[in-house]
Amino acid sequence: MTRIALARLAHARSGDKGNSANVGLIAYRPDLFPILEREVTAERVKAHFGSLVEGEVDRYELPNLHALNFVLHGALDGGGTVSLRTDAQGKVLSSALLRMEVEVDAVVAESVAGLGRVPAGWEPGSADRHPEG
Amino acid sequence: MAERRVVRVAGGSGFWGDDLDAPVRLVEGGPVDYLVMDYLAEVTMSIMRKLRDRDPRGGYARDFVDLMRRIYPVCEERGIRVIANAGGLNPTACAEAVAQAGRDAGVTGSATLGRVGIVSGDDLMDRLDDLLAAGHELANLETGEPLSTIRDRVRSANAYVGAAPIVRALELGAGVVVTGRCADPALTAAPLVHEFGWDPSDYDLMAAAALAGHVNECGAQATGGNCMAEWWTTPDYDTMGFPVLEVEESGAFTVTKHPGTGGRVDRASVTEQIVYEIGDPRAVLTPDVAADFTSIHLSDEGNDRVRVEGVTGRPPTEFLKVSIAYTAGWRSEGTLLYTWPDALAKARAAEHMLRKRFSRLGLRFDDVHTEFVGWNAAHGPVAGSPPEDLPEVQLRMAVRSRDRDAVERFTREMAPLVLTGPPSVTGYAGGRGRVQEMVAYWPALIRRDAVEPFLTVEVVDV
């Protein structure tokens, strides 16, 4: 088994509801979803966020979208307008979750090695179809 | 073979302050039947209150009036109707300003755009004490505390209302509908119910309508904006195509965007928006339905088209959500930039010095928050140990307090460090920080029968 960052297996989006946040975690490929289900438990997510999340973590499954949804209670230091954090609305709790390390076998590790990272040679505007604006 | 009937609903705004040109690209760049504009976030109503306190004719998103001034002619030419929650705390004043913009644009008497609809009655502020006296506790959904603990500091209180009153306005011939605090997805759901004659008690159809609204309500977040999956392949962020939903009578719909615009519509971009700001996916609540997002089926058809179908729903609850905003003291923040070598050590020494000064000055803060930008500002403890000898680190400190004077003094404490504190520091050219009043959010529930009979729908002629 090899330890790799969750960022190799999944992408994510997060947002706020009052003083709670949610993180939707989406597998890059259907075959990676069972790994998320096995490795990314509510308990591990709660431990990963440490003092950022005061309350409990609930996990929900959306197998139809190869996704998990985590609700992080008390994650926003009082909520969007009161929080003194730069990320007062929990917009980047998504990428924070992707820093978590999970165990996968060597074959999976090799198959996801390039996922979630900007490829070599990329420059801003490389993907543009209308480069002149 | 007859073509399947499709109603095209475009989402032109994710919040008050979104891309001003996006709705113009939507109405000019391809076929659209309805443009919906979401302006309201959780605490926007409290900002509207400040505006209305300053000017009794204010308290709504004036940007929407400016937008209508720009797009009335093309909407008239193409038969596009517009629905917006821009009314905020003053839907009537907003609608009157829109009607005047319509007169200026020459759409008086138009069959499509000759009337502006107004949905109001969501504002509970004037009835708050009556509601409390009648036993509506409006307890905080997160903490359980009764509203009485902050009653004297409440600045706004609005119920989230559903699609029905907007449907009524469309039935009355409104070409533009202005609402107050309606639920964001209702802006998209209402024209679908109106066009297809959907039965509001058919909860699978209402779930489809709510899901369509959920996909639309954050604008470009469905079409490649803020999309993490292979983000470097997203073309032309500068001309983002906002979502256009092609909805069929069955409730199935296709998410797409206009040709020639930037961004991308694919499985990843749509899925990220579907899971955005949800709780239990089996019961995503709107005033109209409890939608089961675990029943959604997506097919990525390529060419910036994703088909969404299969969603099911159940009846909504007996309650509506209420968004209450109350004043909660004062806040400010400041930054200083420390440079190599030992940038982080210098920034930490500066923080230490400032905290000692706050203590010596007897400043009472409810919280003093420190971030080291370049290391842990966004991810906090998740960021792990700092990298070896960062080239530069920005110290960011923020405070909050019920004592305005303490916060005012804080704004004068950071700048002196460029001469009095640890070395190789810069970045205080912006001057002193501002003292800002904090408005906190108090989510609550209220029985429908305390709100729905009070909703009103009117139309004004352009």
Report yes or no: B116 and B100 within 8 Å, Cβ to Cβ.
no
What parts of chain B have a pLDDT lower than 70?
A: 1-3, 429-430
In a domain, A39, yes or no: yes
Q: Is the ipTM of this complex over 0.90?
A: yes
Is B272 an 8 Å CB contact of chain A? yes
Per-residue pLDDT at A132: 76
3-state secondary structure of A67: strand
Per-residue pLDDT at A131: 79
Interface-testing mutation among B49, B255, B271, with chain A (most A C-beta atoms within 10 A): B271
Please report which helix (H) or strand (E) contains residue A110, including its range.
helix A106-111
Identify residue B425 by its one-letter amino acid code. V
Question: Do A11 and B277 lie within an 8 Å CB cutoff?
Answer: no
Per-residue pLDDT at B45: 85
Per-residue pLDDT at B355: 98
In a domain, A121, yes or no: no
Per-residue pLDDT at B252: 98
Please report which helix (H) or strand (E) contains residue A68, including its range.
strand A67-72
In a domain, A41, yes or no: yes
The boundaries of every CATH 3.30.70 domain in chain B are 329-439
Sheet bearing A67-72, strands edge to edge:
A10-17, A20-27, A67-72, A57-62
Closest C-alpha to B368, from B405, B426, B410, B328: B410
Half-sphere exposure of B281 (CA within 13 A, CB side): 27
Give chain B positions within 8 Å (CB) of A17: 277, 279, 443
Per-residue pLDDT at B3: 66
Per-residue pLDDT at B2: 56
3-state secondary structure of A43: helix
3-state secondary structure of A61: strand
Pick the CATH number of B329-439 from 3.10.450, 3.40.50, 3.30.70, 2.40.160: 3.30.70
The answer to whether residue A79 scores a pLDDT higher than 60 is: yes
Token output for B457? 């729908």
Closest-CA distance, B233 to chain A, in angstroms, reads 5
In a domain, A120, yes or no: no
Per-residue pLDDT at B405: 98
pLDDT in tens, A6-40: 999 999 999 998 899 999 999 999 999 999 999 99
Report yes or no: B247 and B253 within 8 Å, Cβ to Cβ.
yes
Three-state secondary structure readout of chain B = CCCCCEEEEEECCCCCCCCCCHHHHHHHCCCCCEEEECCCCCCHHHHHHHHHHHCCCCCCCHHHHHHHHHHHHHHHHHCCEEEECCCCCCHHHHHHHHHHHHHHHCCCCCCCCCEEEEEECCECHHHHHHHHHCCCCCCCCCCCCCHHHCHHHEEEEEECECCHHHHHHHHCCCCEEEECCECCCHHHHHHHHHHHCCCCCCHHHHHHHHHHHHHHCCHHHHCCCCCCCCHHHCCCHHHECCCEEEEECCCCEEEECCCCCECCCCHHHHHHHHCCCCCCHHHEECCCCEEEHHHCEEEEEECCEEEEECCEEECCCCEEEEEEEEEEEEEEEEEEEEECCCHHHHHHHHHHHHHHHHHHHCCCCCEEEEEEECCCCCCHHHHCCCCCCCCEEEEEEEEEECCHHHHHHHHCCCCCHHHHCCCCEECCCCCCCCCEEEEEEEEEEEEHHHCHHHCEEEEEEC
Per-residue pLDDT at A103: 96
What ranges in A3-105 are assigned the alpha helix state H? 33-39, 42-49, 93-97
Number of domains chain A contains: 1
Token output for B384? 């792990």
Report yes or no: B368 and B355 within 8 Å, Cβ to Cβ.
yes
Closest-CA distance, B368 to chain A, in angstroms, reads 8
In a domain, A131, yes or no: no
Identify residue B129 by its one-letter amino acid code. D
Give chain A positions within 8 Å (CB) of B400: 82, 84
Question: Which of A:82-101 have CB within 8 Å of B?
Answer: 82, 84-87, 92, 94-96, 99
Closest-CA distance, A92 to chain B, in angstroms, reads 7
> For all residues of chain A together, what is the average pLDDT?
96
State the residue for tokens 């008390």.
A74
Per-residue pLDDT at B53: 87
Q: From residue B375, give the alpha-carbon distance in Å to each of A97, B131, B184, B344, B401.
A: 16, 49, 36, 9, 27
Is A44 an 8 Å CB contact of chain B? no
Please report which helix (H) or strand (E) contains residue A111, including its range.
helix A106-111
In a domain, A128, yes or no: no
Is A12 an 8 Å CB contact of chain B? yes
Three-state secondary structure readout of A14-36 = EEEECCEEEEEEEECCHHHHHHH
Q: How far apart are CA B263 and CA B243, in angstroms?
A: 10
Sheet bearing B297-302, strands edge to edge:
B297-302, B305-309, B253-256, B244-248, B6-11, B34-37, B81-84, B176-179, B115-120, B456-461
Report yes or no: A14 and A22 within 8 Å, Cβ to Cβ.
yes
Per-residue pLDDT at B77: 98
Per-residue pLDDT at B433: 87
CB pairs under 8 A between A and B: 165
Supply the range of the domain harboring residue A98. 2-111
pLDDT in tens, B410-419: 999 999 999 9
